[in-house]
Chains A and B, each alone.
Chain A
Amino acid sequence: MSRLLRMEGIGKSFGQVRALNNVSLELDGGEVLALMGENGAGKSTLMNILCGALVRYEGQVYIDDKPVQIGNPVVARSLGIAKIHQELQMAKEMSIAENMFMGREKCNWLGLVDKKAQEEEAKKWLSMLELDLNPHRPLKSLRVGEQQMVEIAKAISLKARILILDEPTSAISKQETEQLFRVIRRLASEGVGIIYITHRMEEVFEIADRLEVLRDGEYIGTVNAKQTDRDHIISMMVGREIKDMYPKEAVPIGDEVLRVEHLYLNTPQGSSSRPLHDISFTLRKGEVRGLAGLLGAGRSEVFECLFGVHPALTSGDIYIEGQKVTIKSPRDAIDHGLSFATEDRKGKGLVLLRSIGENMSLPLLKKFTKGVVMNTGAEKVEWDRQMEAMRIKAPGTGTLAGTLSGGNQQKVVLGRWLITRPKILLLDEPTRGIDVGAKAEIYQLINNLAAQGIGIIVVSSELPEIIGISDRILTLCEGKITGEFMRGDATQEKLLSAATLREEASA
């Protein structure tokens, strides 16, 4: 039997950086291969070569044992290779059907687009994936998970034989993940070869037949999913054993630092923000509080309300160290000792075109001003201190933030907020898209900050993480608090059932 796909001796350099070196990959039809590795391991580069986004590479690609030259995305598509991107690449204003037939519109004899025929055909493909969606609906009205399904349907309709899924579950709910897995299994049973990229270890063992691990652009190995376990894979990924991912340390819990009472967020119709309903909780000094919930449950919205992002839509009382405070803008929040590290570092956290140092100074520009001039001396002292404390790997504080890896970018964001000497730290998905080594450093940092008496609230989609680092965990579902768990009492099952409480009740 011939191999569906074989990549042999693949190498690629970007300038001085060797991104891939002599990497191989094999994929059979009907198989799910998980491609694992830390950020920067070369997974994306390898996949970009496969789908024609990168020209000029070393090595040879074979499809059905025949050598092929993938020069551009069109060739890749004609070879039956389709990639579902991390950030979906579709026109949000256009309908499902229009997106599925973009670039190959069905036309009637007048040369006009035959919307009806397109929608009928689209419907057929959607129902194949058990999707009950009206193809006429504009894409923007769908949830992220549904949009992703539409992209998969499009790929299948293009007769894709090799389907690449790049972190497909990073932005979708548990239910949608399960649906996605059903679709993946079904496609595999029909002979499609699937390459699945993810950081989530639990998923890999649920869906993958084999796992291939890359590290620093090198091929490390391929193992059968049934003959390995999580720790083994992690040690392959990082090149060392990680015994304890969550080094939680006992820290004396102090007085109450934050009390939130009856917080409401009234979002207007059609807003992308989830309305919040009667949120009340407290946070103590040195305490790490987890905020669990599905994507879209309103977790980020809680942070945004505390931080004065929606002043006109927010109601409720906020007390900091017992004093009632009014927060009408992020400026007010910062001045009251709050800090907010957003989930989307590149989109909402950093000014990528500016230096590490300038990014760190942003909340305190006034403090660092002497007369009319920026007091670069005082700034640099803080920059250097944070560079060292955060162990940011960069040539210097003048390095542009956009050139850093995800982990280092997150450290810059954290360094920025620590300069403000916060009382309360809000961390939204602090380890998302960060490699395993940097994750451990961030967990350690959270411990250290708690030990200094800072109250910390962490939002995370990864339940093991939130269980591992929190003293108390709140679960949120559809904008309401649905449960509270103490450390030691929380299990993944309990959190998940609390986080899906309302959905099941309303279903």
Chain B
Amino acid sequence: MKQGNNALNVRETIQKFQSYIALVVIFIIGSIICVKNGRNTFLSITNIMNLLRAVSETGIIAIGMTMIVLLGDIDLSVGSVVGLVSTGCAALMMHNDLEFVPTVLICLCMGAAYGLFNGFVVTRMKIQAFVVTLASMNIARGLARLWSGGAGIPLSYGDAPGLAPPAFEVLSKRVGGVVPVPAIIFLVLLSIFWFVMSKTRFGRQIYAVGGNATAAHLSGINVKNVKMIAFMLSGLLASIAGMIHSAQIFQGGPNEGMSYEMYAVAAVAIGGTSMAGGKGTMFGTLVGALIFGMLDNIMGLKGLNSNVQLVAKGFLIILSVFLQAVKKDD
């Protein structure tokens, strides 16, 4: 009897921390198998920093997605918003000769407005978020193509007209030549939203609405506004990712950010957030994003065919959500 209880506790504990355990296990596996010519290609500072940079874009999107999924909704438009904003910021700087600050402000507003639009349709027209954002995903792509004429806009920096302001290039730099700026932005944003979710009224409201919208409404919480704000923040965060993205690849274009919504949802799900809403944390999403990024990184280092990688990542998502869902049967 006693032993049985202990076994149960161990099982529960493992279940509770399984994403953290997975992160450590994958880290160890990566450290062991990625050795080339006597050098560990995985455990180098450069590689770890590359990994952080690689997860920062989808990680930033996943922050917003965590709030949306906690509400029991989903935002499929974020990848397209990345495309729209990357096109927009490139066009504004290269074609319209805007300075750094106005460009960034306009891009942020674009993302926020887009999210607000999603939120408005979801809450006021009472259409499911899945349908709304599936549709608005196409709208954003279409707008981006109209804006750029379908082609990508390469970024080149300089002070002369027709060149982008050099300040924007910071987004592609590394602090001290080591720590990527996007990774810093990601971690700062994550900390801010961890604080928002765990310490502020808005965080409480998100958990309450996601856990039981009727109870929240009857407790005087403005459910619609909470959802609207969450969608707005999701769009805003996607626009930040969009700007980082175009700085990283020195180009903005309507086809950028493809499937980013999938990676963001994956990070959220792997991080243990319930797709039904009400349960999950920002820290979980960080772990989820790192697991996903690490596997990506390891598979890349091992030179795995990119199509195989895609298949593997798809199965990973199913496996992780399955593991989260497994409950004691009785």
Check A351 against B200 for contact (C-beta < 8 Å). no
Q: How far is the CA of A334 from the CA of B218 in the complex (A)?
A: 9
Other A-B contacts than A347-B214, A361-B204, 13 sampled, CB-CB below 8 A, are A16-B5, A55-B330, A56-B330, A331-B220, A331-B222, A342-B218, A350-B212, A351-B215, A353-B207, A353-B278, A354-B278, A365-B221, A374-B200
Interface contact B222-A307, CB-CB below 8 Å: no
Q: Mark B209-246, 1 if CB is under 8 A from A, else 0.
A: 00110111111111000000000000000000000000
Name 23 interchain pairs, CB-CB below 8 A, sorted by A.
Answer: A16-B5, A309-B218, A329-B220, A329-B222, A330-B219, A331-B221, A333-B220, A335-B220, A340-B218, A348-B214, A348-B215, A349-B218, A351-B211, A351-B212, A353-B278, A354-B207, A354-B278, A358-B207, A362-B215, A369-B201, A372-B200, A374-B200, A374-B204
Give chain B residues whose Cβ lies under 8 Å from the Cβ of A333: 220
Q: Which residues of B, 260-289, contact A by the 8 Å Cβ criterion?
A: 278-279
Q: Are A330 and B330 in contact (CB under 8 A)?
A: no
A330 to B220, alpha carbons, bound, how many Å?
Answer: 5
- Whether A365 contacts B204 by the Cβ 8 Å rule is yes
> Interface majority SS on B: helix, strand, loop or mixed?
helix
Bound complex: CA of A82 vs CA of B220, how far in Å? 43
Task: Give the residues in chain B near A16, CB-CB below 8 Å.
Answer: 5, 8
B216 touches A351 (CB 8 A): yes
Q: For chain B residues 121-159, which have a beta carbon within 8 Å of chain A? A: none
Given the known interface contacts A16-B5, A369-B201, the answer about A358 and B214 at a Cβ–Cβ threshold of 8 Å is no
* Cα(A348)–Cα(B222), bound, Å: 15
The 4 closest A-B pairs by CB, nearest first: A351-B211, A362-B219, A331-B220, A334-B220
* Contact status B218-A366, CB under 8 Å: no
Minimum distance in angstroms from A217 CB to a CB of chain B: 16
Residues of B within 8 A of A (CB-CB), count: 25
A268 on interface, CB distance cutoff 8 Å: no
- Which of A55, A352, A374 is in CB contact (< 8 Å) with B201? A374
| Complex-state Cα separation, A248 to B185, whole angstroms | 63
Cα distance A366–B204 when bound, in Å?
A: 11
Q: Is B205 an interface residue (CB 8 A)?
A: yes
Take A351-B208, A353-B279, A374-B199 as given contacts and tell me if A362 and B214 are in contact as well, using a CB distance cutoff of 8 Å.
no
Q: Size band of the A side of the interface?
A: 35 or more
Interface string of B111-128 (1 = CB under 8 A from A): 000000000000000000
Say yes or no for A377: interface residue by CB 8 A criterion: no
Interface residues of B in 2-17 (CB under 8 A from A): 5, 8
A9 within 8 Å of B by Cβ? no
Q: How far is the CB of A364 from chain B (nearest CB, A)?
A: 8
Interface bits A333-344 vs B (CB < 8 Å: 1, else 0): 111000010100
CB pair B199–A373 under 8 Å, yes or no, is yes
B72–chain A nearest beta-carbon distance, Å:
11
Q: Does A111 contact B (CB under 8 A)?
A: no
| Minimal beta-carbon separation of A237 from chain B (angstroms) | 26
Q: Mark A298-341, 1 if CB is under 8 A from B, else 0.
A: 00000000010100000000000000000001110111000010
The answer to whether B217 touches A330 (Cβ under 8 A) is yes
Whether B211 lies near A352 (C-beta < 8 A) is yes
Q: A472: CB under 8 A from chain B?
A: no
CB atoms of B201 and A365 under 8 A apart: yes
- Asked whether, in the complex, the Cβ of A330 is within 8 Å of the Cβ of B212, the reply is no
Chain A residue numbers with a CB within 8 Å of B221 are 331, 362, 365
Q: In this assembly, does A416 line the interface, its C-beta being within 8 Å of a C-beta of chain B?
A: yes
Chain B residues near A54 (CB, 8 Å)? 330
* Interface contact A363-B278, CB-CB below 8 Å: no
Q: Are B330 and A14 in contact (CB under 8 A)?
A: yes
Residue of A354, A372, A374 touching B208 (CB-CB under 8 A)? A354
Give the chain A neighbours of B207 by CB distance below 8 A: 351, 353-354, 358
Contacts of B328 in A (CB 8 A): 15
Contact between B204 and A348, CB atoms less than 8 A apart:
no
Instruction: Report Cα–Cα, A15/B218, bound state, in Å.
Output: 35
* Residue among A15, A54, A307 with most chain B CB within 10 A: A15
Given known contacts A366-B201, A369-B201, A374-B204, is B217 in contact with A352 (CB within 8 Å)?
no
Are B222 and A351 in touch, CB under 8 angstroms? no
Q: How many Å lie between the Cα of A351 and that of B205 in the bound state? A: 11
Q: Which residues of A contact B211 (CB under 8 A)?
A: 351-354
**Most interface-central of B200, B220, B330 (chain A CB within 10 A):** B220
Question: Cβ of A307 and Cβ of B208 under 8 Å apart?
Answer: no
Report A354 CB to chain B, min CB distance, Å: 6
Report the minimal beta-carbon distance from A349 to chain B, rounded to whole angstroms.
5
Docked pose: A102 CA to B133 CA in angstroms: 36
A495-B278 Cα distance, complex, nearest whole Å: 43
Alpha-carbon distance A333/B204, docked complex (angstroms): 21
A12's closest neighbor in chain B, by CB? Answer: B330
Report the separation of the CA atoms of residues A342 and B217 in the bound assembly, to the nearest whole angstrom.
12
Q: Do the beta carbons of B215 and A373 come within 8 Å of each other?
A: no
